[in-house]
Amino acid sequence: MAIFLDEGSRVLVQGMTGAEGMRHTAKMLRSGTTVVGGVNPRKAGRSVRIEGRALPVFGSVAEAVAATGADVSVVLVPAAATRDAVIEAVDARIGMCVVITEGVPVHDTAAFWAHAQATRGGDGRPATRIIGPNCPGVISPGRSNAGIIPADITGPGRIGLVSKSGTLTYQLMYELRDIGFSTCVGIGGDPVVGTTHIDALAAFQEDPETDLIVMIGEIGGDAEERAAAYIREHVDKPVIGYVAGFTAPEGRTMGHAGAIVSGSSGTAEAKRAALEAAGVTVGRTPSEAALLVRKAVA
């Protein structure tokens, strides 16, 4: 078992016919992902040959879902087209929409997130889980890979990872490659994102194949403090944390759009203190966090 994505997932790529879409579709196929096709209204009815396979191109997500049974969409379209692409996926009731695109205007993200929350499935819950935008995606090593995370830097195991940072996701995956991961979730670092730390923590807590959780945060906002409160009340699996930005200067955006310290709010030190108060062991560097994981699973 993994969270959000497994070997049964059928992945559609919105933007598959572009250069980045073709490159990352090839990587997903090489990692064993079941990619069932792409969406491009201007090229509907054609097929694109990638990794020796002829993948169909559909005119809409709804057509693709009807024809292939796709339940995951990876969005690799330009920022200006992302809002419409995600709303189209939500209207098609696709189960999960992984938004890789960076530079999406915050009001566009807020619009498609609100639309996803308002669009309900048969069980009365939101029909579509949004992950991202500006994220590397989700990988359940050895099972499926929806996004741009390199699949060859780690293997399957029993660690769950949720992170705002794509680069730090890769680093922890590599440093702990001999132990391996159940699922790694890159939620993105924009001010507004779909799936949160808390959503992933809740899923890992319920996953019988996850023994330990690694949570990576960064400066800005209060997501880590809210996650700490959730951990205190709801998570009894060990959690190892890391917060990027201990030396970040006040008032300067660092990398991600949401990574900014304003006054005493959103500092790495405040987040570390909140996590440690909730029982999370926090490393001062990514490598120290990896070492703490090794000690915990020894």
Q: What is the DSSP string of 194-218?
A: SS-HHHHHHHHHH-TT--EEEEEEE
24 labelled catalytic: no
Q: What are the contacts of 267-273 at 24+ separation with CB within 8 A?
A: 267/219, 268/218, 268/219, 268/243, 268/244, 270/225, 271/217, 271/219, 271/224, 271/225, 271/228, 271/243, 272/241, 272/243, 272/246
Choosing from 107, 115, 234, 256, the catalytic residue is 256
> Which distant-in-sequence residues (6+ apart) come within 8 Å of 36 by Cβ?
10, 11, 12, 55, 56, 64, 68, 69, 70
Please give the positions annotated as active site. Answer: 256
